[in-house]
Chains A and B, each alone.
Chain A
């Protein structure tokens, strides 16, 4: 369901951060706040700077689709569970 929230990994362009934000974290929070409202609150889980550039968040699929069209968003990938070997 497009309203069912799940975790996503969002890859973001390093250089796209508007200067008015003091940090990438603030920028990502602002991006999430600007998404269309959902019955389920969006949640910023992590901000990544070294392994990847971006963040993870709990979103609905429709919000994730919307996010793909934001400036500076490179890719939006569902969070997956892995298993120990």
Chain B
């Protein structure tokens, strides 16, 4: 990726990159649509031999020779038995490859984001130009192809997880998830498989989903999974709409052909020309020819709308968001001069068309713009959110990371727009999704794993969470693109990852599998339901160490639910001193949500040894103000500091 390493503060010769040797020796298993190995992001120049912990293989096929693997792509396999069983027949190899080759693009993008090699002069049609590299430049990639045209089947995902564990991966990156609400943990194969992987010391980093901005939309929310939401960086691709009356509305575009020029063209609304969504073949040529057409978002692919306008003789397209998407702008590599504007601008442009006898417009393309305005990061409207639909006492998502307009490697088999009408092929593509934020965090987890080989997956997750930030680069609380208002921990979790701070978290909240079993007991799972996790029929005493409440799981964040019976909620935590000072003394600072009194006991933790663990208890007491609300929420934090480290846990409270 270009720009995101800089935005994350990663820099050569210092911090996490230096201290982790760029992830050398760490293996990231990317479970996705496969990989396009010829991309420059997968060159292995300068990499030492394959780690001796690697036990996997490179599956070959007619379109995937042994030479496809090297010291960067050290393994590649494809899993399709579940898919073919679903199809009730073999895969049509004219349409998709049974080898690990990625004919979709998604897997090449995520793999190169996590651990791509450094590539100079990377861009998509000169957009996002720069030096592209994955987060863990020296980590190795094992590609497990589990996604096919009709989806990614649990049976294949579990087979890939099984193989990845056997092969010796350190991190699993999974930008895939359920549609709709998250299934119960014991019915969620990703959750169950991730539990098995975590038991083998593997960090499992997953995308939270793109079902935002509605509440409780996050998936992959088991507490042993690192759940990642998506946010913007300080880079945009502006393409402004200039109306005949001189008004200018900001939009975004990756259109790279001939510009429209300064002279204005007649402007029409697709809804007045046959189809507000501008489906292919549905626009009336006599009304569209030689004009710019405004199309509503939704109904068909965004870039396809431009194709429909072109087919009808139109010269340009303005894609306007409806209320469903608000002000979230997605940059697309349009085939004709086109831009996307937010709902507010779209409404004003439509009003202009309605009230003007001869409405005109043009589009001004401004290329790649990097800078502090608008502030970044902002949470993407599409990023799935909490509260946790399964266990409200566990805050999800865990963190946010760059996931909007991310440039990374792409397949040679499909266009950057993924449309059949688009003949272009590119080395790099710019796309958005929590799929893109997940591998950023997977790469960071790989770096931490290298820096601290003995840390558990939970400790690595804790380091990333307790060092995350929630202020943007203008010093204000991170904004939510869905509303234009401040986002909250239900939206960004602990906040935006800060890798260099994660290198030195001071304290970590560690968890092992027995804690997770105690957690499952606390949410009412009986021994029968826990069997799939422990893999044996349970005796009734499996819950002998049941937590008093699921909120007692030693999680690095706090989510509190008050109801009419519970005015006071108490959670316990244990923190391990992973700093270098044996005699570290940490003091607690509480930022309580309105309507809540919080006490921390003890409020001072005096360590006497490195790796010593100390406990504390937090009491959350709701006052009558909070209880008077029918349903409301509030946010705060608990910060432990020894004067050097700041170990911050977000608090989310619901009544």
Given the complex, which residues of A lie within 8 Å of B177, measured CB to CB? 82-83, 85
Given the complex, which residues of B lie within 8 Å of A7, measured CB to CB? 82, 85-86, 153, 155
Cβ of B434 within 8 Å of any chain A Cβ, yes or no, is yes
**Contact bitstring B151-190, A, C-beta under 8 A = 1, else 0:** 1111101110110011000000001111100010011011
**Contact bitstring A23-67, B, C-beta under 8 A = 1, else 0:** 000000000000000000001011011111100101000000000
Indicate whether A79 sits within 8 Å of B153 (C-beta atoms), given known contacts A15-B536, A56-B158: yes
Main secondary structure of the interface of A (DSSP, over half): strand
Given the complex, which residues of A lie within 8 Å of B165, measured CB to CB? 50-51
Cβ of A81 within 8 Å of any chain B Cβ, yes or no, is yes
> With the chains together, A83 CA to B193 CA distance in Å?
17
Given the complex, which residues of A lie within 8 Å of B537, measured CB to CB? 13, 16, 74
Q: In the assembled complex, how far is the CB of residue B540 from the closest CB belonging to chain A, in whole angstroms?
A: 16
Cβ of B150 within 8 Å of any chain A Cβ, yes or no, is yes
> With the chains together, A6 CA to B531 CA distance in Å?
23
B197-246 residues with Cβ-Cβ distance < 8 A to A are 197, 200, 207-210
Cβ of B20 within 8 Å of any chain A Cβ, yes or no, is no
Q: In the assembled complex, how far is the CB of residue B235 from the closest CB belonging to chain A, in whole angstroms?
A: 21
Given the complex, which residues of B lie within 8 Å of A11, measured CB to CB? 192, 531-532, 535
Closest to A46 in B: B159
Closest to A44 in B: B81
Q: In the assembled complex, how far is the CB of residue B109 from the closest CB belonging to chain A, in whole angstroms?
A: 10
Interface size class of B (residues with CB under 8 A): 35 or more
B190 partner, pick from A53, A56, A74, A82, beta carbons under 8 A: A82
**Contact bitstring B521-542, A, C-beta under 8 A = 1, else 0:** 0000000100110011100000
Q: In the assembled complex, how far is the CB of residue B79 from the closest CB belonging to chain A, in whole angstroms?
A: 8
Cβ of B349 within 8 Å of any chain A Cβ, yes or no, is no
A52 partner, pick from B150, B528, B535, beta carbons under 8 A: B535
Closest to B152 in A: A82
Closest to B200 in A: A50
Closest to B155 in A: A56
A84 touches B33 (CB 8 A): yes
> With the chains together, A83 CA to B158 CA distance in Å?
15
Name the residue in A7, A52, A74, A85 with the highest tally of chain B Cβ atoms < 10 Å from its Cβ: A85
Closest to A6 in B: B86
A45 touches B162 (CB 8 A): no
B155 touches A46 (CB 8 A): yes
Closest to A55 in B: B155
B147 touches A84 (CB 8 A): yes
B82 touches A51 (CB 8 A): no
Indicate whether A9 sits within 8 Å of B155 (C-beta atoms), given known contacts A14-B536, A43-B85, A75-B186: yes
Q: In the assembled complex, how far is the CB of residue B382 from the closest CB belonging to chain A, in whole angstroms?
A: 9
B interface residue numbers (CB < 8 A to A)? 32-33, 81-82, 85-86, 104, 106, 147, 150-155, 157-159, 161-162, 165-166, 175-179, 183, 186-187, 189-190, 192-193, 196-197, 200, 207-210, 433-435, 438, 528, 531-532, 535-537
Pairs of residues from A and B, 5 with the lowest C-beta to C-beta distance, nearest first? A81-B151, A51-B161, A56-B155, A51-B193, A85-B207
A interface residue numbers (CB < 8 A to B)? 6-7, 9, 11-16, 43, 45-46, 48-53, 56, 58, 74-75, 77, 79-85
Known: A74-B528, A79-B154, A85-B433. 18 other contacts (CB 8 A): A9-B158, A13-B536, A14-B536, A15-B536, A45-B82, A46-B155, A49-B166, A50-B165, A52-B162, A74-B531, A77-B189, A80-B178, A80-B183, A80-B189, A81-B154, A82-B151, A83-B151, A83-B152
